[in-house]
Structures are given as structure tokens and as C-alpha cells.
Amino acid sequence: MTLLARNLGPYTTTAVGLGEMPLTIEGKPDLEQAIETIHAALDAGCRHIDTAWAYYESGGEEQTGEKLVHQALQSWSGPRQDVLVATKVGHFRNFTDGRPTWDVDGSPENLIRRGKESAKALGVDSIDLLYFHRPDPKVPYEQSIEAMKQLVDEGVAKTIGISNASVDQIDIALGILGDDLVSVQNQYSPVFRESEDTLAYTAEKGLAFVCWSPLGGFRKAKDDTVFEVFRQVARQHGVSYQQVVLAWELSKGRHVFVIPGAHRPATILDSLQAGELELTIDELAKLG
Ligand SMILES: NC(=O)c1ccc[n+]([C@@H]2O[C@H](COP(=O)([O-])OP(=O)(O)OC[C@H]3O[C@@H](n4cnc5c(N)ncnc54)[C@H](OP(=O)(O)O)[C@@H]3O)[C@@H](O)[C@H]2O)c1
């Protein structure tokens, strides 16, 4: 199967990628199933995997997500060099009062150290696409972005992305990184449309827009009724409503990518077909 491909910075990759997070944080499957899920995606033609330094269980060994991606690629017999592997630095996990949480450290020292650790865990000299995971309110944004630039200058990363970024932060990053900035990864789905301003702005600036939690996240949505209209369209096409959600997101612009998460092969195999699903103008109008 040839999947829909789009340009992301200097890369041509599949519009539907695999979000690795559910395979290594709380609720993860066993290692065998995790590897099977990644291999199933790759065998079906997926060429974009998204991971992060901070994808590990709270209180557990760090960087298990990056190590899993490395292990899965090493044991895969296909063309590894064609797979765009994106990772992120700036987040870490906390385990306070038995509750797993996410914390940020956007200091230049931390970003540079973690970027180098990410390259090592992924088993590469230079990371294809390295994101600054989330702005740190304790550190001026410029300082964090300067550190990301240093990682490109030192060859640790080939290109840079920013995540959870506003329009103003995109402008700051463009000013410092210029053409090295290729992608913005923000939350976007039927249950989270607040990032529509950055979706439009990235198109204007020639940047990719990667939707995180494109299906609303792997925890049950607070308001599931927003998916009802997607279910109606899905019934007409005889496909899952998740495929309709992903196809609707991809219809927002040729610069848009989706990285659905999966705990098992079946769900990512279904999601990967979304790029081929054609929605009519009337259906898109109905979906909003
Ligand atoms: N930059 C950031 O700050 C940030 C934050 C969060 C996430 N992310 C990235 O975004 C990725 C995706 O987000 P996410 O994993 O939170 O949520 P998601 O992609 O919105 O949802 C994943 C859930 O949807 C289910 N699913 C996926 N495809 C399906 C299909 N075709 N049919 C039925 N169910 C389907 C999966 O089911 P199963 O569990 O049954 O497989 C999984 O539980 C993450 O893996 C991560 O790489 C980035």
C-alpha cells in the first residue's frame, strides 16, 4: 500500500505517522506488542515516528520511548533510512503522591544535554527532527530556542521543531532558527480546536503543522458527543470514525500531519488508511 506522502521540511514522509507515547508511558503494552505495533506501522508503509526524551513511565527508567524506537528500527528489515524519526526535549516525568505528572526544564544546559542523550538513545549521529517539547515559564523562550540552534550547529539535530507553541513563539523561533525550523507540533482534534491560529500561521510561513493527540488522546474524551458527526460520516463510508477524524485534520492544509497513538497493531493499521479517505465538500462542511 502506498500511503499519502507530504513534504515536512527537507523530508518527504507519510501524512499519517505513529505517535509512540502510549507504547512506553503508563498503560503501555509489553515489549513484544510494542515492537509489533511499530513494525506493523512500518510494514504498512508508515515513514514517520514521533517520540520524546520524556516518554517513559513515571518513576521508571528514562528515555524508554526513544530506546524502543531504536530497537524496533534495528530489528526491522525494511529501509530504515526512509523513516523520519522525530523526538523532543524539554519535558521530564515526576511521580508525586503516586500521581504521574509532566514537568518542564527549558534551560539551555538541560536541552543541550538531553538532545545529545536523545541522539544516543536513538542510535544516530544526528536526529532527523528535534522538537523543543514545551515552553518553560522559568526560562525566556529565546534562550531555549538558542540552545536548539546550538544543537543544529553542533550537528546533533538536522532540523528543529517547536511544540505547544503560540504564534508569537513561532515568530521568535523563526527569527533565531530561520530555515532550520521546519515544524510546529500542537494539540489539534475535534475536542481541541484552540490551535487553529497556529494551524493557519504555519501554512503562511511554510512550516509543517503536526497534530498531537489527533483523536482526542488515549484517555476517554470528556465530551464524546463531538465525535457524533464524525461517526455519521464514517457510517456512510464504511470506515472507523477515527479515520474520518484524521482525514478531516489532513484536509485542513497540505502542511498538516497527524501522529495517532496506538497500543496495538490494529489501531495504527486502521489509522494509516486515513490519508486515502476522500471526504466530499459537503461532508467537510458538516464536520466544520
Ligand atoms: N507534543 C506534545 O506535547 C504531545 C503531547 C501528547 C501527545 N503527543 C504525541 O501525539 C501522539 C498521539 O497522541 P495520543 O497517543 O495521546 O492520542 P491519540 O492519537 O489522540 O489517541 C490514541 C488512542 O486512539 C486509539 N486509536 C488510534 N487509532 C485508532 C483507530 N484507527 N481506531 C480506533 N482507535 C484508535 C488508540 O487505541 P488503542 O489504545 O486501542 O491502540 C489510542 O488509545 C502521542 O503518541 C505523542 O507522540 C505529543
24 CB near ligand 1 (under 6 Å): no
Query: What type of residue is 232?
Result: Q
pLDDT at 196: 98
- Catalytic residue numbers read 55
- The residue whose C-alpha atom lies closest to atom 10 belonging to ligand 1 is 212
Residue 188 · residue 215 · CB < 8 Å: no
pLDDT at 222: 66
Please report the DSSP string for the chain in residue order: -PPPEEEETTEEEESB-EE-GGGTSTT---HHHHHHHHHHHHHTT--EEE--TT-S-TTS-TTHHHHHHHHHHHT--S-GGG-EEEEEESEEEEEETTEEEEEE---HHHHHHHHHHHHHHHT-SSEEEEEE-S--TTS-HHHHHHHHHHHHHTTSEEEEEEES--HHHHHHHHHHHGGGEEEEEEE-BTTB-TTHHHHHHHHHHT-EEEEESTTS-SSPPS-GGGGHHHHHHHHHHTS-HHHHHHHHHHTT-TTEEE--B-SSHHHHHHHGGGGGPPPPHHHHHHH-
Strand intervals (E) in 1-83: 5-8, 11-14, 18-19, 48-50
Q: Which atom of ligand 1 is nearest to the CA of 261?
A: 15
Residue 257 CA, ligand 1 centroid: distance in Å:
13
Architecture of the domain defined by 11-223+249-278? Alpha-Beta Barrel (3.20)
Q: Which of 18, 21, 245 to mutate to test the pocket of ligand 1 (most atoms within 8 A of CB)?
A: 21
pLDDT at 224: 81
pLDDT at 220: 67
21 CB near ligand 1 (under 6 Å): yes
Residue 189 CA, ligand 1 centroid: distance in Å:
11
The per-residue pLDDT for range 56-75, each reduced to its tens digit, is: 998 889 999 999 999 999 99
Residue 261 CA, ligand 1 centroid: distance in Å:
3
239 CB near ligand 1 (under 6 Å): no
pLDDT < 70 regions, the chain: 1, 220-222
115 CB near ligand 1 (under 6 Å): no
65 CB near ligand 1 (under 6 Å): no
Going from N- to C-terminal start, the domains of the chain cover 11-223+249-278
